[in-house]
Each structure stands twice: as C-alpha cells, then as structure tokens.
Amino acid sequence: MIFPSLFPITLRGNAADSARISALLVMAYSGGGIMPQVFIHLATRIGFHPALVLVSLPSYLLIAVYGWYFSRPQPIALMEQAPS
C-alpha cells in the first residue's frame, strides 16, 4: 500500500529536485534487497550485534540526512480575489 503513495508524497513541492529525489528513492528500494544479504554475510563473520551496528547505523544516518535535507517548509499559496 505504501508504494503507490510514496513517490507523490515525496515529490510534492520539490519539482526542481524531482530527478535526484526519484534516484534516491530507487536506491533505497535497491538497498532493501541488498542490505539484508550484507547483514547475513557480516553476521556469520563478526557476530550478530557488530553486524547489526555496521549495517543499521549508516542506513539510519542516511535516512536522517535525507529527511533533514528535504524538510523545507512548503509555501502557502494565497488565494487571489475574484474581480468585482
């Protein structure tokens, strides 16, 4: 249910950056398939907890930077008065 609404919500009000935002969203989807495999590989070599830190900390940091960078206040459109 989230995929049909994620792109429009994310791109709303950011027309100038839409190509970059779309690329980041596609990379995030790809990361959702790659990062679990990286975690399993690391967990078998260095242990569960260190692998969890090495995989999740950079991921959440990237999400926080993304949210901070694109969290601009949206301008409020003023209604024009109809001619009388």
Q: How many CB atoms lie within 10 A of CB 17?
A: 14
For residue 78, tell me if it sits in a domain: no
Tell me if 64 is assigned to some domain.
yes
Tokens coding 78:
């003023």
Q: Is 13 left (phi over 0), alpha (psi -120 to 50) or beta?
A: left
**Within a domain: 83:** no
- Supply the range of the domain harboring residue 12: 3-69
Picking from 30, 29, 55, the residue whose alpha carbon sits closest to that of residue 42 is 55
Rounded CA separation 69/18 (Å): 14
Q: Is residue 56 in some structural domain?
A: yes
Residue 80 within any structural domain of the chain: no
On whether residue 29 sits in a domain, the answer given is: yes
Q: Residues 22-67: pLDDT tens digits?
A: 887 888 777 778 888 999 999 999 999 999 999 999 888 888 887 8
In the chain, the number of structural domains is 1
pLDDT(78) > 60: no
